[in-house]
Amino acid sequence: MNKMQSLNIKRFAVLAGFLITYLNVSFGQDLKPIDKIVAKVGEEYILLSDIQNQKLSLQQNNVIATDDMDCEILEGLMYEKLLTNQAVIDSVEVGDEIVNQEMESRLQVIAQQIGSIERLEEFYGKSVAQIKAEFFEVIKKRMQAERMKETITEMVDVTPKEVKEFYSSLPKDSIPYINSKITVAHVVMYPELTDADKAAAKKAIEESKERVISEARSFQTEAVLTSEDPGSAVQGGDLGWQTKGTMVPEFEAEIEKLEKNEISPIFETQYGFHYLQLLDRKGNNYHVRHVLVSPKVDKKALYKTKARMDSIAAAINKGTLTFERAASLFSDDLKSNTNGGKIVNPYSGDYKWDLQNINEIDPQMSRIVDRLSVGAIAPAALYDNFYEQKQGIRIVKLLSKSKPHVANLDDDYQLIQMAALNQKKEKVIDDWVKSKISGNYIWISEQYATSCEFKHVWVKTGS
């Protein structure tokens, strides 16, 4: 990994964790060092504490931070300030709403780690509103710097010839080893829920709520025993602190009507029937627990759907119907029925999956494909869609399965293309930095000007 790649990774880690870093620096140390200015880029100052905070953030992201990193961190901060200055000159804006959303997201992460919004406020000694006000401009400037970087590199692309040249230039011992990857397709059919199915779920949740209201069971116990939300049931229905806009509208509409500790009426969402209890509210943040009961399709409907899917699979195996055509005609999966049933990997944007990644989205898949040869179709079987809380029947086809191997242009072109593109973007950024250094006022304290070997030739003047 070259120096600029290392800096990019560390800048990302710092950006992801800087709020936690500042909180810990402010209250996690008994003695605060005397701060001082160590550099200036344009109108932006860099403090000694900025370097120290960056190192602490790296440690929190499991990166070993040593004193030798100070020069590298300082150059990364100067690069960031250069981007920020140029963003102001070029009127590259980041809306306050986007900054606030980023702030909310980061505060939620911190609150979850500390335990609650109240503990966050107690720990920091300030209200959430005060914390937001204190860090708003810091976040905005860093987001402007990222947006400026995107602007600089947005037109950069690589040709097939450049990809091949990049791959040829790689030392043999640095070419990555690629795990086995699969591509899969499926055809899914969900039996329609009947009024009777919904009525049964409605009755079940009414009985559940009555047990809570009558104090026959605590809310937490009822959630563990009854709720069908796999993520929260084991936590007694507790969803933790959430930010307004993260849940479906029907769910949040009920929250708006409640006072602290009040239990909502039963209501319906796309996932089924719920009731919830508001535990606390802080501005746009709320803490709730809930019980979910999802309507179940009748077993007879599942058997009927399986029989239909069996006939579709038989037609495919006989060659009278293609798998792609079956997906288009019969599959209820709107994400895949227009592309032959192929399941897109949201991590990479293509159709290739590591089994570990696909199991995060579809826990049943590894067991299915383990028994399949390439081109074969698994028998129709029950499909539990945990994300949409649906049960259906599906058939799965294993389209391809690669062997573990050293990356090559035939099998891993997209991966190599991305690496080549990143290298080209880094070169564009390097050239941009060199062109902007001379046009900006840059001062570095003598301590760093005389001891650091920077990648770029920054203007150095002693203090």
pLDDT at 13: 35
Query: Per the structure block, which two tokens stand in for 331?
Result: 């599959």
Residue 336's closest CA among 186, 441, 444, 233? 186
Same-domain check for residues 249 and 287: yes
d(CA 129, CA 126): 8
- What's the average model confidence in pLDDT over 329-346? 93
Residue 293, Cβ density class (10 Å: 0-12 exposed, 13-18 middle, ≥19 buried): buried
Report which of residues 79 and 240 the model is more confident about: 79
d(CA 330, CA 305): 11
Give this prediction's pTM.
0.60
135 falls within a domain: yes
Last residue of a domain, one of 276, 293, 310: 293
**pLDDT over 60 at 69, yes or no:** yes
Same-domain check for residues 349 and 282: no
Query: Per the structure block, which two tokens stand in for 210?
Result: 């009555």
Q: For position 261, which CATH number holds?
A: 3.10.50.40
Count CB atoms within 10 A of the CB of residue 90.
Answer: 12
Query: Per the structure block, which two tokens stand in for 382?
Result: 């029950």
Q: pLDDT grade, residue 416 (50/70/90)? A: very high
Last residue of a domain, one of 263, 293, 323: 293
Q: Give percent of the chain above pLDDT 90.
A: 52
Least confident of 78-87, 370-379, 420-429, 451-460: 451-460
- What's the average model confidence in pLDDT over 255-266? 96
Residue 285's closest CA among 252, 248, 310, 322? 252
Q: pLDDT grade, residue 81 (50/70/90)? A: very high
Same-domain check for residues 146 and 8: yes
Same-domain check for residues 16 and 149: yes
**pLDDT over 70 at 10, yes or no:** no
Same-domain check for residues 342 and 437: no
Same-domain check for residues 318 and 216: no
Same-domain check for residues 319 and 427: no
**pLDDT over 50 at 30, yes or no:** no
Domain range for residue 153?
A: 3-159+419-449
38 falls within a domain: yes
Least confident of 50-59, 160-169, 299-308, 447-456: 50-59
Same-domain check for residues 16 and 117: yes
Same-domain check for residues 250 and 261: yes
d(CA 69, CA 316): 60
Query: Per the structure block, which two tokens stand in for 173?
Result: 């011992």
Number of structural domains found in the chain: 3
| Mean predicted lDDT score pLDDT of the chain | 86
426 falls within a domain: yes
Q: pLDDT grade, residue 34 (50/70/90)? A: low
Least confident of 52-56, 61-65, 459-463: 459-463
Count CB atoms within 10 A of the CB of residue 334.
Answer: 8
Same-domain check for residues 310 and 360: yes
Last residue of a domain, one of 237, 260, 293: 293
**pLDDT over 90 at 8, yes or no:** no
Same-domain check for residues 380 and 263: no
- What's the average model confidence in pLDDT over 141-164? 94
Q: For position 68, which CATH number holds?
A: 1.10.4030.10
Least confident of 121-135, 142-156, 223-237: 121-135
Confirm if 426 and 448 have CB atoms less than 8 A apart: no
165 falls within a domain: no
**pLDDT over 90 at 246, yes or no:** no
Residue 326, Cβ density class (10 Å: 0-12 exposed, 13-18 middle, ≥19 buried): buried
Least confident of 180-189, 391-400, 410-419: 410-419
Same-domain check for residues 187 and 251: no
**pLDDT over 70 at 462, yes or no:** no
Least confident of 33-42, 206-215, 253-262, 437-446: 33-42
227 phi/psi in degrees, rounded to 5: -65, 140
411 falls within a domain: no
Q: pLDDT grade, residue 127 (50/70/90)? A: confident
391 phi/psi in degrees, rounded to 5: -115, 135
- What's the average model confidence in pLDDT over 66-84? 90
CA geometry: angle at 95 spanning 94 and 96, to 5°?
120
Confirm if 341 and 187 have CB atoms less than 8 A apart: yes
